[in-house]
Amino acid sequence: MMMDTPNRYDVLVVGAGFAGSEVAYRLAQNGLRVGLLTQSLDSLFLPVTEISDPPAEGTLFAEVYEEGLPPFLLHARAKWRLESLAPRLHLFQATATRLCIEDGRVLGVESWEGPEYRARVTVLALGSFLGARLRVGEIEEAAGRLGEAAYPDFYAHLRELGFRFEPSSLSAPPFKGAPGYTVRFDRFASEEWDRESCRLTRFSGLFGVGVCVLGSGSYAQVSLEGTRLAERLLEFFQNLPVEDA
Ligand SMILES: Cc1cc2nc3c(=O)[nH]c(=O)nc-3n(C[C@H](O)[C@H](O)[C@H](O)COP(=O)(O)OP(=O)(O)OC[C@H]3O[C@@H](n4cnc5c(N)ncnc54)[C@H](O)[C@@H]3O)c2cc1C
């Protein structure tokens, strides 16, 4: 296990949507030192559309879900549970702009705010924010979800590194007087991601989960995917020198 050094983790998760939060929660519960970095803590584990499926057993989502619970309370419950895992889980607001890479291995990320965050394993859980355009009626803006800006830096950097992408889109119907909208975004191309191990195979030490690799998925589905990736990573940490991951 890693020394208790600021900004150094066993696993760094970028993006605290349903997928990334599940990964971080399960790993920290199992004793790993985890950094969960996300662009806005106010939108952590916050559903912005209707929840179509009930949560699967054994997920953080199942622990905090209650039918009819307002979205902001679901967010608050999940955030409280994640925060209660401190100091093993460090939750912070920052925007990743670049991967730190040495000899083909990802060692963490640089942030727009300045600090670098280092880890033995980095997980990208970036959702619908890569090259995202959100359209409501005639208005279009760079946003990955309603009211959440999508900044171009990380996406441009990933393209410079040679990552390939495929176009995806998600649509929300009109709801309780609010207009419907569509988000068009890029997800990692299927040849970049190994479904079984969840690795983004272009570099070692890099994994992907949720909508940024699947292109779609309900809150319940991506949250289960997060739990599945956490199980894989726990196996890595138990059975392998992680440098081989
Ligand atoms: C238009 C729309 C309609 C949907 N409809 C449904 C539905 O009907 N039913 C349903 O169950 N689900 C629905 N969903 C939910 C969706 O399909 C996902 O399940 C859900 O958003 C969780 O995905 P995720 O965790 O992969 O990513 P997201 O929830 O998108 O989270 C990704 C997080 O990463 C952060 N991030 C991105 N880039 C960076 C960066 N560079 N640095 C730091 N943080 C970063 C973002 O701020 C965000 O918080 C909808 C979503 C959208 C956008």
Q: Would you say residue 121 has pLDDT above 90? A: yes
State the pLDDT at residue 1: 39
pLDDT for residue 241? 60
Cross-sheet strand order for the sheet of 133-136 = 139-141, 133-136, 181-188, 165-172
CATH number of 8-131+188-244: 3.50.50.60
Is the pLDDT score of 58 beyond 80? Answer: yes
CA of 211 to the centre of ligand 1 (A): 7
Q: Which atom of ligand 1 is nearest to the CA of 219?
A: 19
Name the nearest CA neighbour of 245 among 100, 89, 109, 122. Answer: 122
Is the pLDDT confidence value at 126 over 70? yes
| Most informative mutation of 60, 67, 110, 129 for ligand 1 (most atoms within 8 A of CB) | 129
Residue 215 has pLDDT above 50, yes or no: yes
pLDDT value at residue 7: 72
3-state secondary structure the chain: CCCCCCCEEEEEEECCCHHHHHHHHHHHHCCCCEEEEECCHHHCCCCCCCCCCCCCCCCHHHHHCCCCCCHHHHHHHHHHHHHCCCCCEEEEECCEEEEEEECCEEEEEEECCCCEEEEEEEEECCCCCCCCEEEECCEEECEEECCEECCCHHHHHHHHCCCCEEEEEEEECCECCECCEEEEEEEECHHHECCCCCEECCCECEEECCHHHHCCCCHHHHHHHHHHHHHHHHHHHHHCCHHHC
Q: CA of 160: how far to CAs of 1, 122, 139, in Å?
A: 33, 19, 29
The first and second tokens of residue 54, run together, are: 């009930």
Q: How far is Cα of residue 12 from the mean position of the Cα atoms in its chain?
A: 10
Q: Report the pLDDT averaged over residues 34-54.
A: 95
Task: Give the residue with greater pLDDT, 87 vs 238.
Answer: 87
Pocket of ligand 1 (CB under 6 A): 14-20, 37-40, 43, 49-53, 95-96, 125-129, 144-145, 148, 154, 170-172, 183, 210-211, 216-219, 222
What is the structure's pLDDT at 243? Answer: 55
Atom of ligand 1 nearest to the CA of 226: 25
Helices 71-83 & 18-29 angle (0-180, nearest 10) = 30
Q: What is the C-alpha to C-alpha distance for residues 67 and 106, in angstroms, rounded to an integer?
A: 40
Q: Looking at the predicted structure, is the pLDDT value of residue 101 above 80?
A: yes
Q: What percent of the chain has pLDDT over 90?
A: 87
Does residue 6 surpass a pLDDT of 70? Answer: no
Token digits for 42? Answer: 């106010």
pLDDT band at 85 (very low <50, low <70, confident <90, very high): very high
Mean pLDDT calculated for residue range 202-211: 98
Q: Is the four-CA dihedral 153, 159, 161, 165 of positive or negative sign?
A: positive
Residue 96: what pLDDT?
98
Average pLDDT of the residues in 73-98: 97
Q: Cis omega before residue 87 (within 30°)?
A: yes
Determine the pLDDT at residue 28. 97
- Lowest average pLDDT, out of 98-107, 129-138, 144-153, 168-177, goes to 168-177
Residues of the chain above pLDDT 70, percent: 95
- For the chain, give the mean pLDDT: 93
**Which of residues 5 and 10 earns the better pLDDT score?**
10
Query: Tell me, what's the pLDDT at 177?
Result: 77
pLDDT at 4: 45
Give the start-to-end residue ranges of the domains of the chain.
8-131+188-244
Tell me which of 3 and 101 has the higher pLDDT.
101
pLDDT of residue 169: 98
pLDDT at 245: 54
